[in-house]
Amino acid sequence: MANTFINTLIGIAAGFFGGLVGLGGGVVMIPLMVGMLKLTQHKAHGTSMVALVFTGATGALAYYIHGNVDVSASLVLAVTSVVTVRYGAKYAHSMPEWKLKRAFGGFLVFASCMLLLKPYLGVSGETLTGITKIITLLITGLFAGFVAGMMGVGGGTVMVPPMVILMGMTQHLAQGTSLLCMVAAGIVGAQTHWRLGNVVSRLLPGLIMGIIIGSYMGGSLAQYLPELYLRIIFSSFLIWTGIKYLRTKARTGS
């Protein structure tokens, strides 16, 4: 019972911060699972990927209700992301834990920078349409799927900027579209991590329940708090955590 309570709290924290700033909860959930539950980095990534499938589905539904999902763009993104997410998961599995931790640390710093730059993401002079837009979405899906599978996160950090800058989507529309895409890619990535033995299934009920509750709480609170302060606070947390991971000592022979 105590373990389930802790798992639920971790899920709530991940969902809450993710809902506040529109970022996937994996960047919060993975460090907490490693630090509090003593999971290996590989198992934390795999378990996070499974839990985030439910986050993506819940979040995409909420965005869809408010008209902030481009279903056709999500389907195009999914075409390539469902392929590369498998390779990202396998690549993470092949890495020594200290290297995976450093890679995750670098991703956290990158994600925090993208979060701070969020208000400055402006639409380019001419937005992409037709075949050029489709090709851009396919290429974006390639990178997003691999990053998601490797890092155990949603991939929105990679998908959202091109959709906002190059395709003229609003921030909310881009986030909703990326969430829907990652439901399909997340399922494939979760299956791959499961087969590789990187999923701790006993943690999932509490994590999933907490993420759903936290996402609702964070998303609701975000409507009333200044987004600038939230981004600064959360980015500071990500940078501090990322630097800590980047300082992981190399281990000879692995």
Give the chain's radius of gyration (CA, Å): 17
Euclidean distance between the first and final Cα of the chain, in Å?
Answer: 37
Q: What's this model's pTM, rounded to 2 decimal places? A: 0.80
* CB contact burial 190-225 (16+ within 10 A = b; e otherwise): bbbbbebebbbeebbebbbbbbbebbbebbeebeee
145-203 pLDDT, tens per residue? 898 888 888 777 788 888 887 888 877 788 788 888 888 888 998 999 999 999 998 99
Query: Domain segments of the chain: what residues?
Result: 2-246
102 close to 245: Cβ distance less than 8 angstroms:
yes
Q: For the segment 44-63, what is each residue's pLDDT rounded down to a tens digit?
A: 999 988 888 887 787 788 78
- Of residues 152, 151, 57, 161, the one with CA closest to residue 118: 161
Is 172 buried (19+), middle (13-18) or exposed (0-12) by CB count in 10 A?
A: middle
Query: Count H helices, E strands: the chain?
Result: 10, 0
